[in-house]
Amino acid sequence: MSLLLSIKQFSKRRLSWSLLLLFTLFFEGSALFFQHVMHLDPCVMCVYERVSMLGIIIGALIGLINPKHFTFFWMGMVIWAASSAKGLSLAIEHVSIQLHPSIFNTCSLVPEFPSWLQLNQWFPWIFSASGECSKISWQFLTLSMPQWLIVIFAGNLIAIAIIFLSQFAKKSELSLR
């Protein structure tokens, strides 16, 4: 059996969507740990990046409903892809603000959510911002949080691309024994 066919079969199982959900919940939990235990104040860009992670969680939950069903699978994939792409874009912008701080390269002081989705008012302990976007308050292996988010969101997009390609894999008509 080819690798792409194995990936295709795995993507149609609840285990794959459960792993996506668990990893994304781990990342959201880590953000809350940094905020509430280590007292690292999130900035507006951090809050927007959290919303992108929340989008991946929603995509994983939709895919988890019934990954073998066309609608749930592809709706989960599209939401996962869109959230990962937006998260990558935000993380790249955030890194630019950190690496090139200036009065012309800043972020807003307050999250700007649509009036029908005021996450910062509904869940302030997750989505309120009080930090500075240009401040690097934590690093691991010389990378800041938004730099790690670039790795995470790009990794998600690579996984999505591989899973998308695997959907075109077909069992060979000839069986080699």
Q: Give catalytic residue positions.
A: 43, 46, 50, 107, 133
Beta bridge partners of 105: 102
C-alpha 52/C-alpha 35 separation (Å) is 17
